[in-house]
Amino acid sequence: MNPVPAATRPPTAVARVMICDDSAVIRSAIARILDSDPAIHVVARASNGQAALDALKLHDIDVVVLDIEMPVMDGLTALPLLLAADPGLRVIMASTLTTRGADTSMRALRLGAADYVPKPSASHVAGDARFGPELIEKVKGLARLRRQARMPAASPMAGASLPPAMALRPAPKHAPLVLAIGSSTGGPNALFTLVQSLSAAIPVPVVLTQHMPAAFTPILAAHIDKLGVLPCAEATDGARLLPGRILLAPGDRHMLVRREGAGLCVRLSDGPAVNFCRPAADPMLMSAGEATGGRVLAVILTGMGQDGMEGVRSVVTLGGAALAQDEATSVVWGMPGAVARAGLAHAILPLPQLGPKILAMLGVRR
């Protein structure tokens, strides 16, 4: 641990972070990445879960970057203890790019972790082009959500009012034939919340693109399936779209929707990355709109960048509709914000209100 004197602590608007990893090299590399952003300050470092618990008593911490495999006390053991010590704490699990790491990360999310980040090897942490920016955005976004949660209910930040400058589109004229969801940073937990607020009575198939490595997507699909609301599986080439079932785009492949006879099916593509992503939401949305004549309800959840905006534009131009998660409940208001600012959304809603709105637009009574 490296205690920081109270007199040198940054103002409360800065995200206060603790890094917990048994590798001193990893701790130093992550600290350099995070401290490069003036809105983040690393206030403590710990080499195992027990040391992190001890540090939590000494510092006011917003976000913990928590390794999984450590001596003395591993991350999965420490997680519930950290959350019990500070229920408002946001924890990001740092996981290896393996199936085992993916499964542990998804289990951690179900146990209360706020997010995860795939961790490169010690020799590649500093030079990984995506790891640093992704971690910085997650830390800042989660720290903001923690601050909002501490505010009184009457605070404007805690509300979900829509900025008056953002235009909303009218409801679609025809009932959707497909529900298409796009998400990225902060997406897994948002997806768990969203799916749990839906219903097995959904009369349309669901296609879902989450920006995620190939080792993680089958694990995410399995954990969504375990929620027991809608069956979910990683998509395979040629898989048919069936009402009330979720197909998740596999990592490193775009998922396209095609009409085949009287039904719809999935085609997987190894085409170039779109918006620096593969899978990307734009190809899924554009193809779904083309295959259904625009009869798509698109939902864009928390995420960096603007993937999904052009796909939504294509959908609504053809007569479909789109919902966007609001800024107050998004870890990063990049993807949904792009849709909202472009005036493409039928509604911009807090995460807990998206499920009921989807059911209403699909004609489902709970």
The active-site residue out of 211, 223, 254, 346 is 211
The active-site residue out of 307, 314, 330, 346 is 307
* 66 vs 309: CA distance, rounded Å: 33
The active-site residue out of 95, 105, 183, 184 is 184
DSSP string for 113-154 = --EEEEPPPTTTTTT-TTHHHHHHHHHHHHHHHHHHHHS-TT
Cβ atoms of residues 70 and 64 within 8 Å? no
* 89 vs 114: CA distance, rounded Å: 9
Structure tokens at 244: 């009330």
* Cα three-residue angle 116-119-123, rounded to 5 degrees: 165
307 is catalytic: yes
Separation of CA 302 from chain center: 6
Q: Write the burial class of residue 311 (CB in 10 Å: 0-12 exposed, 13-18 middle, 19+ buried).
A: buried
Half-sphere exposure of 286 (CA within 13 A, CB side): 11
Q: Which residue, chain included where needed, has tokens 């009184």?
A: 152
Helix (H/G/I), strand (E/B), else coil: 24: helix
* 29 vs 159: CA distance, rounded Å: 37
Cα–Cα nearest to 362, from 143, 179, 148:
179
184 is catalytic: yes
User: Known catalytic residues?
Assistant: 184, 211, 307
